[in-house]
Amino acid sequence: MFPKTDPSYFDGTWTFEKTEHAVLGLCKTLDRYAHRLTLEDLQNDPRCSRIPDLSLERVQEVIADVEAKLWRGAQSFENEVIYHTGPHHDDIMLGIMPFINRQLRSPKNQVHFAIMTSGYHSVTDAFLQKAMEDTLDYLHQGRIQMVRYPDFFEQGYRFKQEKDIHHYLDNVARRNPDEMRRGFCHRILRDAVGLWGLKSVDDVETRFKMEIGNLKEGKPNSHEIQKLKGEIREFEEELVWAYTGTALDHIHHLRLGLYESRTEDPEPAVPEQGRRAEGPTNNGLACRQAQGPVFSRDVEPILNQFRELKPTVISVAIDSEGQGPNTHYKVMQSIAEAVRLWGEEADLSKLRIFGYRNVWSTFHPAEANVYVPVSLNAFAVFEKAFKDSYLTQVKAEFPNPDFDGPFSELAETIWVKNYKDVQFILGKDFFYENAHPLIRATHGLIFLKEMTAKEFVALAERMALSVRDGGSSPP
C-alpha cells in the first residue's frame, strides 16, 4: 500500500517525509492553511503528535521544503540530452507534457522520446476498419497522388513520413478535418505497403478489402494487423511531439516484447521493414513465461540507446506492479537494469532521473520532491494536442475504471488536485501575489520524484523484492 492509505506508514523510524505527510493531512482534515495551524492542533492530531521535537517550527520547515520543491520544478533545462521513456504511446504526454514543453523551447537541449511497446491493444478493430475504408476512398478519388510515382511501391513508400506529419498538422491549423484524415491515410498506406510488400494499387485494394472483411467478421487479428495497429499508435506519438518541432529521428519506437499479462496474445513477430525497424519484436512463448526483464529482448535495446545518446536526464514511469497496466512496472524494471549496466561502463554520478506517474496512480505530495507548475496555457496546449493527435484515445479502449472521459481530462484533474493540496501548505496568496510570472500563472502541478542513478536502481530493486515477497513497495 502507498503511504497515503496505509496507517502503518507512520510507524517505525520517523522521517521528514512523514512530517510533511502528517502536516498536510492535518491541514486537509481541518480545512486550514499550514501557517494557521496551532501547536494545540499538532498535539491533538494522532499523526502530527508523533513528530519529534514537535513545535510550530516543524510546520515552517515543511512550508520551506514544499516551496523548494516548487522552485525546483520551475527551473529551466539547458545543454541537456534528455531521454523521456513511456511504457505505451501517450504515457509520457499524460504524465509530463508541460514539463517537456519547456525543455523543447531551448535548441540547446536534445530531447528524445522512447516508447517501449507497440501499443496495438489500444486500437479497436472498428477504428482500423474505418481507417482502411477511408484510405480506399481517397485512392478512388485520386487524392493519394504518391502512388503515381514510379518507385513508390519499390522504395518510395519508405520516405517522407515527416511530410505526412506536416500535412496533418498544417490542417490542424487550418481546421480542415478532411485533409487531416487524408494525411493520416497517407501513413496507413505507407505502413501497409511495407508490411505486406504490396506492389500496386490493385494489390492495395485486394489486401485492404480482405482485411476489412476479416475485421467485420470479428476474426482474431493476425500479427500483421497487430503491427499495423501499433504503427497507428506510433504515428499518433509522432504528431504530439511534432507540435513543438521534434524530428522523427528523436522519436524511438522500441517495440519491446512486454505486454500487460502473460495470457495476452504476443505482440507482432513480423519482420521490420523500412524506416520503422527500430527495435526487436517479441519472441512468442518465451515472452509469455518471462517473470522479469529478458536481457536481449527488453534491456539491451535500451542500454544500446544509452550508449549511443548518452543522456544526462531520463524520465521513467515508476508505477508499482498492479498500479495500472503491468507493462508499466515491467518497463520500469527493464530501464533500471539498463541504467545499472550502463553504470558499470560510464560515470553516471551526474545523471538525473525523474520518476513520474500519470492516470493510473499518483504521488502523494510528500513522496515527490519536484513540483512542476502548469499554467492555463499549458492546459490548453495539452488538451488540444491530445485530442488532435491521439485519435484512438479520445474514447479509450481501456479506460481508467474511476473516470469516464478522455485521459487528458483525467490528467488535468490530477494536476489541479495536486495544486490544491500544495495550496494548503503555501497558501493561495503565495501563487497569485508571487513576483515570478510562471508561479502567478500556475493552476496545476505535476509531481515528480528526482533520483540519482543509484537511487533509481535501488528503488527498482526494493520494488522487485517486495513483489517476490508477495507485496508492493512504495517509492
Residue 203 has pLDDT above 70, yes or no: yes
In a shared domain, residues 355 and 395: yes
DSSP letters along 353-405, please?
Answer: EEEE--SS----TTT-SEEEEEEHHHHHHHHHHHHHH-TTTTT-SS--TT--S
User: Is residue 131 within 8 Å of 232, Cβ to Cβ?
Assistant: yes
CATH number, domain containing residue 326: 3.40.50
Q: Which three cell numbers stand for residue 350?
A: 551526474
Residue 116 has pLDDT above 70, yes or no: yes
In a shared domain, residues 16 and 159: no
- Distance between CA atoms of residues 118 and 235, nearest Å: 11
DSSP label at residue 297: I
pLDDT for res 295: 87
- Please report whether residue 271 resides in a domain: yes
The helix (run of H) or strand (run of E) holding residue 252 is: strand 251-253
- Please report whether residue 99 resides in a domain: yes
- Distance between CA atoms of residues 18 and 51, nearest Å: 8
HSE-up of residue 21 (Cα within 13 Å, Cβ side): 23
pLDDT for res 93: 96
Mean pLDDT within 106-134: 94
Mean pLDDT within 386-408: 73
Write out pLDDT tens, residues 336-375.
999 999 999 999 999 999 999 988 889 999 999 999 999 9
Domain termination site, one of 204, 223, 242: 223
In a shared domain, residues 43 and 184: no
Q: Residue 402 — φ and ψ, nearest 5°?
A: -100, 5
pLDDT for res 425: 98
pLDDT for res 257: 80
DSSP label at residue 9: G
pLDDT for res 350: 97
In a shared domain, residues 185 and 156: yes
Question: Going by DSSP bridges, is the β-strand pair 81-86/110-115 parallel, antiparallel, or unpaired?
Answer: parallel
Residue 403 has pLDDT above 70, yes or no: no
Residue 289 has pLDDT above 70, yes or no: no
In a shared domain, residues 344 and 456: yes
Residue 280 has pLDDT above 50, yes or no: no
Residue among 1, 4, 103 nearest 366 (CA) = 4
For residues 422 and 267, the model is more confident at 422
> Strand, coil or helix: what is 320?
coil
- Please report whether residue 437 resides in a domain: yes
For residues 425 and 262, the model is more confident at 425
In a shared domain, residues 305 and 415: yes
Residue 268 has pLDDT above 80, yes or no: no
Mean pLDDT within 184-191: 96
Write out pLDDT tens, residues 47-91.
999 999 999 999 999 999 999 999 999 999 999 999 999 999 999
Please state, in angstroms and as integers, the Cα–Cα distance from residue 154 to each residue in 148, 149, 200, 319, following that order. Answer: 12, 10, 10, 44
- Residue 217: CB partners within 8 Å, gap ≥ 6? none
* Confidence class for position 293, pLDDT limits 50, 70, 90: confident
Query: For the chain, what is the domain count?
Result: 3
Residue among 315, 308, 420 nearest 84 (CA) = 315
* Of the listed ranges 231-240, 268-277, 386-395, the one predicted with least confidence: 268-277
Please state, in angstroms and as integers, the Cα–Cα distance from residue 392 to each residue in 181, 220, 223, 240, 254, following that order. Answer: 13, 19, 19, 13, 20
- Distance between CA atoms of residues 93 and 178, nearest Å: 26
Residue 465 has pLDDT above 90, yes or no: no
Domain range enclosing 370: 80-117+254-468
Q: How many CB atoms are closer than 10 A to CB 461?
A: 15
In a shared domain, residues 297 and 426: yes
Q: Residue 274 — φ and ψ, nearest 5°?
A: 70, -155
For residues 288 and 131, the model is more confident at 131
pLDDT for res 1: 31
In a shared domain, residues 359 and 445: yes
pLDDT for res 299: 94
Distance between start and end Cα atoms, the chain:
11
Mean pLDDT within 121-142: 96
For residues 326 and 134, the model is more confident at 134
- Please report whether residue 229 resides in a domain: no
For residues 302 and 464, the model is more confident at 302
- Distance between CA atoms of residues 115 and 133, nearest Å: 28
Residue 279 has pLDDT above 50, yes or no: no
Please state, in angstroms and as integers, the Cα–Cα distance from residue 317 to each residue in 21, 92, 383, 404, following that order. Answer: 22, 8, 21, 23
- Please report whether residue 475 resides in a domain: no
Residue among 116, 72, 73, 71 nearest 92 (CA) = 116
In a shared domain, residues 182 and 44: no
HSE-up of residue 302 (Cα within 13 Å, Cβ side): 34
- Please report whether residue 234 resides in a domain: no
Domain termination site, one of 205, 223, 241: 223
User: Is residue 412 within 8 Å of 443, Cβ to Cβ?
Assistant: no
> Strand, coil or helix: what is 33?
coil
In a shared domain, residues 105 and 129: no
pLDDT for res 18: 96
- Please report whether residue 230 resides in a domain: no
pLDDT for res 283: 33
Buried b (16+ CB within 10 A) or exposed e, 170-183: ebbeeeeeebbbbb
* Confidence class for position 324, pLDDT limits 50, 70, 90: low
Domain termination site, one of 203, 223, 243: 223
Residue 176 has pLDDT above 80, yes or no: yes
Mean pLDDT within 23-44: 97
Share of the chain above pLDDT 70, in %: 87
Question: What single letter denotes the amino acid at residue 54?
Answer: L
In a shared domain, residues 56 and 108: no
> Strand, coil or helix: what is 193?
helix
* Confidence class for position 402, pLDDT limits 50, 70, 90: low
In a shared domain, residues 39 and 133: no
- Distance between CA atoms of residues 299 and 337, nearest Å: 7
Mean pLDDT within 306-320: 95
- Please report whether residue 245 resides in a domain: no
Which residues share a beta bridge with 445?
373
Please provide the average confidence, as pLDDT, over all residues in the chain: 88
- Distance between CA atoms of residues 262 and 400, nearest Å: 21
